Amino acid sequence: MSHNLLKGKRGIIFGALDESSIAWKTAEKVFEQGGSFVLTNAPVAMRMGAINTLAEKTNAQVIPADATSIEDLENLVEKSMEILGGKLDFVLHSIGMSVNVRKGRHYTDLNYSFSEKGWDVSALSFHKTMQTLYKKDAMNEWGSIVALTYMAAQRVFPDYNDMADNKAYLESIGRSFGYFFGRDKKVRVNTISQSPTPTTAGKGVKGFDGFIEYADKMSPLGNATADECADYTITLFSDLTKKVTLQNLYHDGGFSNMGVSQMVMDKFVDEQ
């Protein structure tokens, strides 16, 4: 359902891989709401995914970019402004990757060169993206930059591995760079801490099915879906949230404020 919430707004969406990804669903919703955008992902991810299908559906162009490369990001930002016909109003950073998780390395036995790669892709790329946008003065006033995160940045989820550290770093960048972007350019920067979501990235985490079910039983409203996360992201791109900045916003059905729920308690009582 369109309300033209983003009519005339332009942006860049990072990380759409396939229909399960939050970035993919966000792109569809931005399009429904009248926004236009450029899609981008790493060349290797683009070979794995179906980003061209999404581009056709949403009248978007695709610019491959390695988000850890300043050269690629500069090219992406310049080309996006050319294609879209002006400065940008929104950017979604929806990127995360841990080589240690992929290779089955335990948190107590990390390969640090894997860690550095994951940190660069998952966290530092957010700073690199914002620094490029900032230096090129590529954002319109009252624009909005959003990155996706997870609550393992605050609490222990043993199998989330070094991605937890990456997300903590990402959230800190959001606050720190958000201050300068707000002060100097009137641009807001927020992170959305989403429920565990069965995306391609999410499913890479060990024990993920149990993880999802537990979170669902702990949350009074149940887990937030990728589709619902896209809706929430749209509100942050819109003019209705102009003064929301430097926030880590929990979009998790209430999980983040729960100690224990009746459903979880019942499960343990049943098992005794």
CA distance 149 to 172: 11
Do residues 21 and 15 make contact, with C-beta atoms less than 8 angstroms apart? yes
> DSSP state, 124?
I
Tokens read off for 2: 């369109």
Strand partners, 189: 145
Catalytic residues: 150, 160
- pLDDT class for 12, splitting at 50, 70, 90? very high
212 marked as binding residue = no
For 52-109, how does the pLDDT look when each residue is reduced to its tens digit (9 = 90+)?
999 999 999 999 999 999 999 999 999 999 999 999 999 999 999 999 999 999 999 9
For the chain, list the domains and their CATH numbers: 10-271 (3.40.50.720)
With residue 29 as reference, give the H or E element that holds it. Answer: helix 22-32
pTM of this structure: 0.96
38 burial type by CB count under 10 A (0-12 exposed, 13-18 middle, 19+ buried): buried
- Distant-in-sequence, close-in-space partners of 111: CB < 8 Å, separation ≥ 6: 99, 100, 103, 105
The mean-pLDDT minimum among 156-160, 188-192, 255-259 falls in 156-160
Do residues 31 and 233 make contact, with C-beta atoms less than 8 angstroms apart? no
173 marked as binding residue = no
For 197-254, how does the pLDDT look when each residue is reduced to its tens digit (9 = 90+)?
987 766 666 677 888 999 999 999 999 999 999 999 999 999 999 999 999 999 999 9
182 marked as binding residue = no
By percentage, how much of the chain surpasses pLDDT 70?
Answer: 96
- pLDDT class for 48, splitting at 50, 70, 90? confident
15 marked as binding residue = yes
185 marked as binding residue = no
